Amino acid sequence: MAGHSKWANIKHKKSRQDAQRGKIFTKISKEIMVAVQQGGTDADTNFKLRLAIQKAKSNNMPNDNIERAIKRGTGDLDGKNFEEIVYEGYGPGGAAVMLDILTDNRNRTAGEIRHIFSKNNGNLGESGCVSWMFHRKGLFVVEKNDEVEEDELLLVALEAGAEDVKSTDEIFQITCEPEEFETVKKALEDNDYKLEVEEVSMVPENTVSLSESDLEKMEKLEEVLDDHNDVQNIYTNVE
């Protein structure tokens, strides 16, 4: 696995997202619409909407786009009704894959996602086949550098309510219960930590290592899935 790392994948994904900003805005708009439809327009009480707006702002999405998405969610502007679905399957080397889907046509999306898996050395599985391996957590990533003191970061995170801080050669990964997400985020930001990743995510209980060949195939599968308009989030248990 020389030359590959979790952080390298994160940076690669961020660069791809920068190049596809319009598509990212469209996906975030869908998240905002569904959050409003499910919980109303008050971000103080609608946690899902609050996270979607935070994601929009972290991706430099214009306020006008955010307001239009909210109005589509309330019905003040025309908008489609989207259904939330979780797809589960296996990638190259048997890696577990979970997808958050928002679609206005379940049958079309299912066929297209199944085709993507089969064309990229994977297969779409039944509901529940891999979800037991994942837990929903608040997730933060801080890149290692000379300004970040590990003991200090650990203290700040744990005092704020984080449950775990893991260290690799390149990053610190901080996890917490979703309910503690905003408290931990505020504490990290108040202490001037630059958050490379800040999201509520599905975190695998254990990870798997892939061969160089399977890892390259897995990255290709993730890229193709990420390009699909109905795929909101991709989670894997790849190390």
In angstroms, rounded to a whole number, what is the distance separating the alpha carbons of residues 69 and 76? 10
Domain-embedded: residue 125: yes
Task: Identify whether residues 121 and 153 lie together within a single domain.
Answer: no
Task: Identify whether residues 52 and 153 lie together within a single domain.
Answer: no
Distance, first Cα to last Cα, the chain: 10
Query: What local confidence, expressed as pLDDT, does residue 21 receive?
Result: 76
Query: pLDDT band for position 13 (50/70/90)?
Result: low
Of the chain, the percentage scoring pLDDT greater than 90 comes to 80
Number of domains forming the structure of the chain:
3
- Looking at every residue in the chain, the average pLDDT score rounds to 91
pLDDT at 41 over 90: yes
Task: Identify whether residues 126 and 149 lie together within a single domain.
Answer: no
Query: What local confidence, expressed as pLDDT, does residue 12 receive?
Result: 62
Q: What is the pLDDT of residues 108-150, one digit of tens each?
A: 999 999 999 999 999 999 999 999 999 999 999 999 998 999 9
pLDDT at 3 over 50: no
Task: Identify whether residues 128 and 213 lie together within a single domain.
Answer: yes
pLDDT at 69 over 90: yes
Domain-embedded: residue 183: yes
Give the pTM. Answer: 0.84
CATH value at residue 190: 3.30.70.980
pLDDT at 38 over 60: yes
Convert the chain into a string of H (helix), E (strand) and C (coil).
CCCCCHHHHHHHHHHHHHHCHHHHHHHHHHHHHHHHHHHCCCCCCCHHHHHHHHHHHHCCCCHHHHHHHHHHHHCCCCCCCCEEEEEEEECHHHCEEEEEEEECCHHHHHHHHHHHHHHCCCEECCCCCCHHHEEEEEEEEEECCCCCCHHHHHHHHHHHCCCEEEECCCEEEEEECHHHHHHHHHHHHHCCCCCCEEEEEEEECCCECCCHHHHHHHHHHHHHHHHCCCEEEEEECEC
Q: What is the pLDDT of residues 182-218, one digit of tens each?
A: 999 999 999 999 998 899 999 999 999 999 999 999 9
Query: What local confidence, expressed as pLDDT, does residue 219 receive?
Result: 93
Task: Identify whether residues 216 and 161 lie together within a single domain.
Answer: no
Task: Identify whether residues 151 and 198 lie together within a single domain.
Answer: yes
Task: Identify whether residues 52 and 168 lie together within a single domain.
Answer: no
Which residue range(s) make up the domain with 177? 134-203
Of 138, 99, 132, nearest to 204 by C-alpha is 132
Query: What local confidence, expressed as pLDDT, does residue 1 receive?
Result: 33
Query: What local confidence, expressed as pLDDT, does residue 128 receive?
Result: 95
Domain-embedded: residue 1: no
